[in-house]
Amino acid sequence: SNYEKGIRQPSIDTLKKLATIYDTTLESIVNFDSTPTELQQIPIYSIIKDKEDINSKENILGYTDLGREYIGKGDYFALYVVDDSMNNSRICEGDIVIVRKQSEVENGQIAVVLVKGEEATIKKYFISDNMVTLIPSSTNPIHSLRNIDTNITSVEVLGKVVEAKIKL
């Protein structure tokens, strides 16, 4: 914390260790990178009821910066978390999740999923044949897993959650 507050400066050996731990270069840690840092902002949505809502300006709460590690690696949007159904995965009410737009995710990954007639939800996603299982990760017992037959109800993956920005 003293480093972050500017009270103390890390030694070059400490910086080298940090670069190794975070799998980056010493130059990037001390900001000697000569390329300009360009921030890309992505919209934060409050509610998504339809895939078209991702392109609608009406549901935008604001904007957040996309981390440099994601720039050029896909299209992204952010979603405001409105419940505690994923709090065991450190995604809590009031947080903002960063989502890479993609229509498929691997079983067990956390995805933003749109079930026909409902608002988009954030859950662990599993698919087998025509059955989708959405699993919460919550300390709240009111949230339970849900099996959905895709022959009866359409289920669409809007994207994979890649990061949660926590509310302090």
CA distance 133 to 41: 32
One-letter amino acid at 29 equals I
CA distances from 113 to 4, 25, 31, 48, 126 (A): 37, 36, 38, 10, 11
CA dihedral over 75, 81, 86, 90, signed as positive or negative: positive
Q: Which of 101, 123, 124, 154 is catalytic?
A: 123
Choose, from 85, 124, 138, 160, the residue flagged as catalytic: 85
- Structural tokens at position 62: 């604001």
Q: Is 123 a catalytic residue?
A: yes
Q: Is 46 among the catalytic positions?
A: no
Going by C-alpha positions, the residue among 159, 164, 117, 158 that lies closest to residue 137 is: 164
| CA dist., res. 104 & res. 128, Å (int) | 13
DSSP 72: T
SS3 88: helix
Nearest-angstrom CA–CA distance, 95 and 97 = 7
Tell me which residues are annotated as active site.
85, 123
